[in-house]
Amino acid sequence: MAKSCYMLIDVNSAFLSWEAVYRLQHGETVDLRDIPSVVGGSEKNRHGIVLAKSLSAKKLYNVKTGEPLVQAQNKAGNNLVVVPPRHGLYKEASDAMMNVLQQYSPVVERFSIDEAFLDYTGMEMLYGDPVKTAYIIKDEIESKLGFTVNIGISTNKLLAKMACEFEKPNKVHTLWPHEVPSKMWPLPIGELYMVGRKTEEKLIHKGILTIGDLAKCDIVYLKKWIKGFGELLWHFANGSYPESDKGGTAFFQGALTHETDSKAKGIGNSSTIAFNLETKSAAYKALLSLCETVSRRLREHNFKAQVIHVGYTTSEFERFGRQKKYLSPTSSTQELYNRACSLLDELWDMQPIRAIGVHATCLTSSENTQINMFEIESEKSKFIDCTVDNLRNKYGSSIIKRGCFLDEDISHMLGGSWGNPTGNS
């Protein structure tokens, strides 16, 4: 069997680069990437955050991704150009990159809007050395699409991901298992995948300063101290996954799933919000918006889902997720939303949320669904869903929206317009 080989392709300052390329293509002469600039969400509400920054915004003014926009503007004075996010554009750019990647492997998995894993296992026979190919892919993306990427290469997704984070931008890095001690162990512990600021503080407090320190720790001690998460991090520090999850699938599930035709994969949607979600009402609203698009796609394809998964990424880039199998499958917006909310309630410790997703799997055809005695989907809710779908199909997504979305801090159908010609963007 061929040795496994994965690449992680990550767009450098994605939102900002994509906006810059778009502007250059439309007659703009200044490249946003060459000046202090940021993509910032929701300026008018004052709780907007920096979603992406240019290199010079970072170097000259120490602007950081995730910090409040107001704070960034205070640092940089009038010298900071702020552009609003444009999600329709991001999806187009992301799709264009996926098209390039798919030429080099049949297995390309979108990990987030600006990152994708490419399974290069066995592809050497066709395209040769992975490092050489990575350079070709990187240069092809830059010349065809106008933006740069980093590519990390290794035998598993975790190490490819870690390699991708090495020096940026426009670089190819390897992190083969034999390179782990020299390239990964000297790094500060905070740079290990899934180590957020809180965990970092905990570990540093115990004298674990580098990834190498953690790798050499006693796993029994770690398990006693920080439970399963400690064990997981220990494996990561050693460049592997726990025995129970050899493929690392639980940790590297695509954050974005738009494949509406894939029964096995299910139908899902997730979105980075323009500001951190810090209250239940804001988080519920984001869930409702996602459920609107997911349930609409379920109905469009005549599916009902039995398993609902809710996942989120915190402002510290830690990911959490929970799923549940329900007795009765559903495609009702209201029911999907109720289930998503109860899953979030079980999961969320109120750490600020940056990105959130709802995923429906275990799909059955609507026609084959048995009528359950406790059928939750009343005729009334079916009628409402059907009427709303028809209106949106005919007049576009914005023709009808729930009252709670009128203040427009969260789009009423997150990701809903992607790939939908009648939708707004």
Chain residues that interact with Mg ion, rule: CB under 5 A: 10-11, 14, 114
- In whole angstroms, the minimum distance from the beta carbon of 150 to Mg ion comes to 8
CA–CA separation, 280 vs 270, rounded Å?
17
CA–CA separation, 242 vs 337, rounded Å?
33
- Residue 115 catalytic? yes
- In whole angstroms, the minimum distance from the beta carbon of 299 to Mg ion comes to 33
- Cβ proximity to Mg ion: between 38 and 358 the closer is 38
Helices assigned H by DSSP within 11-129: 14-25, 55-61, 69-76, 87-101, 124-127
- In whole angstroms, the minimum distance from the beta carbon of 148 to Mg ion comes to 10
- Cβ proximity to Mg ion: between 114 and 292 the closer is 114
- Cβ proximity to Mg ion: between 134 and 288 the closer is 134
CA–CA separation, 15 vs 26, rounded Å?
17
> By the 8 A CB rule, do 185 and 212 touch?
yes
- Cβ proximity to Mg ion: between 17 and 417 the closer is 17
- In whole angstroms, the minimum distance from the beta carbon of 52 to Mg ion comes to 8
- In whole angstroms, the minimum distance from the beta carbon of 100 to Mg ion comes to 16
Q: Which of 19, 115, 318, 377 is catalytic?
A: 115
Rounded to the nearest angstrom, the gap between the alpha carbon of residue 158 and the centroid of all alpha carbons in its chain is 15
- Cβ proximity to Mg ion: between 161 and 296 the closer is 161
Q: Which residues contact 395 (CB under 8 A, 6 or more apart)?
A: 422
CA–CA separation, 212 vs 237, rounded Å?
7
Assigned token pair, 28: 């703009």
CA–CA separation, 67 vs 49, rounded Å?
5
- Omega of the bond leading into 169 within 30 degrees of 0 (cis): yes
Active site residues: 115
